[in-house]
Amino acid sequence: MKKLLTSILILFFIGQISYSQDWDFEKPDYSKIEKNIKDKKSNLYYESLMNRFSKADSTLSLKEKRHLYYGYTFQESYSPYGRSTYEDSLRNVLQEENLAHVDFEKIIAFGDKILRSNPFNLDALNYQLFAFEQTKDQEAFQKKLTQLRTIVDVLMSSGNGKTKENAFYVIDTSHEYNLLSILGFQFGGSQHLIEHYDYLSVAENNQDIEGFYFDVTPCLNSILK
């Protein structure tokens, strides 16, 4: 559906992101994050961070955002290869040629159900952005945009993807493909697991970039558990 595909461009322009190999980034220290999010007296206490994220708090610092995102790997609900049954329901609605107001309401409702089990599902957030844009609910649109930006800020802070040493750190393999789109690249069709890194090739581009590395350590650890 052309109208829907056009709206997905929202992802490409959040924060006017442009790819550069020289921005400042920092690898997540998972052991330190695990310790910090358990301190109930700290602003990094996980329950507090998730409550602020749920309310689309735009004042979260980058440090808090990183503890929120990477700290999720230590929650019982973390299941990087899990899949909500509502994803099929959402996909069925999106396949409709002409969407009516009731369909936008379904997109929002199914998105909410998906996000209850996976609060960092960028696809669900993006489709909700589309629905809120179409229903002209600006308040809800801005809240979802804040949440989406929170996640993207963390991903962009972790690396530049150029090498294994400077890989992007993700807690969900779907975020690899989301990040490619956000950076303005198209998946080149080739994916390889190298040690604890995913390597995705990208289609021909004017920056002559062949692909990106993503550290997927939490995802692999979840399989071992």
Q: List the chain domain ranges.
A: 1-9+26-157, 159-225
For tokens 């899990």, the residue is 82
**Tens-binned pLDDT, residue by residue, of the chain (225 aa):** 544 544 454 554 444 455 555 668 999 999 999 999 999 999 999 999 999 999 999 999 999 999 999 999 999 999 999 888 899 999 999 988 889 999 999 999 999 999 999 999 999 999 999 999 999 999 999 999 999 999 999 999 999 999 999 999 999 999 999 999 888 899 999 999 999 999 999 999 998 999 999 999 999 999 887
CA angle 9–15–18, rounded 5-degree value: 80
Distance, in Å, from the CA atom of 156 to the CA atom of 150, rounded to the nearest integer, reads: 10
What are the C-alpha distances in Å from 6 to residues 77, 144, 181? 33, 18, 13
Fold of 1-9+26-157: 1.25.40
Supply the pTM of this predicted model.
0.91
In terms of residues, how long is the chain?
Answer: 225
Hey, what are 129's tokens?
Answer: 């952005």
**Burial of 212: CB neighbours in 10 Å, binned 0-12, 13-18, 19+:** buried
